[in-house]
Amino acid sequence: MAGLRAFALIIFAAVFVVSDARAGSEGERAEAFIDTLSAQAIALVSDQEMKPDAKREGFAKLLNEGFDMRWIGQFVLGRNWNLATPEQRAEYLDLFEKIIVFTYSKRFNDYSGQQIQVTGHEKGNRKYVFVRSRIFDPKRSGSSINVMWRMLPKGESFKIVDVVIEGVSMGISQRNEYNSVIQRNGGKIAALIEAMRENLANLQTDS
């Protein structure tokens, strides 16, 4: 029953995206994009009947639909991207996505009814569009967290390229961390990739 309802919600969300894509200003469409994506994510996470593996796959799919994973991976690697070989880039991007999927999917069970509310949008530098939102737990007052989504327009839709939680950018944190690893290993990208492999292996045994 719960599974059916979640499924219906996703269908509804998909229809919503298609019909909404042609209406409204860019900012309004960006807000709708976040609304839809978060509804899909909440439906997925709160689905009690779905198996963990299926959930993880569903999450990976949502991640690739909503986020420009290649763009983010490249941003995180920074100038080291240009120094990486094609093989290294391919493995890095693969590990990067899997690490995100496993890091977040092991926390699915912590979900306890938090809601997301879009609170506005702004136009940034270059082509960036920002959507502001807050995530809160309706059961606890004073639990609100400000989350900002940095997005790039892609045709009629968008791709998220960064998430800023209470002023902390996920992209920049990850970028600082990964570049520190490379720097401390004499500029070797191979060292980062090795560390990421270990990281992923640990996450996979945890889950």
Partner 1 sequence: MLAAEYEMSVENGELQRQGLARRLVRWSRLGPALFGALMLGACASATSDGVADVNDPIEPVNRAIFAVNDVLDQVVLRPVSYVYKEAVPDPIRDAVRNFLRWLKSPVTLANDVMQGDWDHAKVTSARFVVNGALFGIVDAADGLGLPYREEDFGQTLGVHGVSEGAFLMLPLLGPSNVRDTAGLVVDYFIDPFTYLGERDFRRPFGIGRRVVQAVDFRAENFDRIDDLRNDSIDFYAKVRSIYRQQRKAAVNNGIIPIDESTPDLSEEFDRHLPTPEAGAPLSSSGG
Return residues touching partner 1 (CB under 8 A): 64, 67-72, 74-75, 78-79, 81-82, 86, 89-90, 93, 97, 103, 107, 110, 122-126, 128, 130, 141-142, 146, 148, 150, 154, 159, 161-162, 164, 166-169, 171-173, 175-181, 183-184, 192, 195-196, 198-199, 202-203
Comparing CB distances to partner 1, the nearer of 5 and 140 is 140
Provide the 3-class DSSP secondary structure of residue 3.
helix
Q: What's the helix, strand, coil split of the chain in %, to 5? A: 60, 20, 20
Q: CB 18 → partner 1: shortest distance, Å?
A: 18
Comparing CB distances to partner 1, the nearer of 49 and 144 is 144
Burial class (CB in 10 A: 0-12, 13-18, 19+), 185: middle
Q: CB 188 → partner 1: shortest distance, Å?
A: 14
Q: CB 3 → partner 1: shortest distance, Å?
A: 27
Comparing CB distances to partner 1, the nearer of 55 and 89 is 89
Q: CB 49 → partner 1: shortest distance, Å?
A: 25
E strands present in the chain: 115-123, 129-136, 145-154, 157-165, 168-169
Rounded distance, CA 38 to CA 12, Å?
A: 13
Q: CB 53 → partner 1: shortest distance, Å?
A: 20
Comparing CB distances to partner 1, the nearer of 51 and 126 is 126
Rounded distance, CA 201 to CA 47, Å?
A: 26
Q: CB 26 → partner 1: shortest distance, Å?
A: 14
Comparing CB distances to partner 1, the nearer of 8 and 201 is 201
Residue whose tokens read 């959930």: 55
Rounded distance, CA 76 to CA 97, Å?
A: 12
Comparing CB distances to partner 1, the nearer of 6 and 17 is 17
With CA atoms as reference, report the closest residue to 30 among 125, 141, 196, 156.
156
Rounded distance, CA 55 to CA 152, Å?
A: 27
Which pair of tokens denotes residue 186? 């004499």
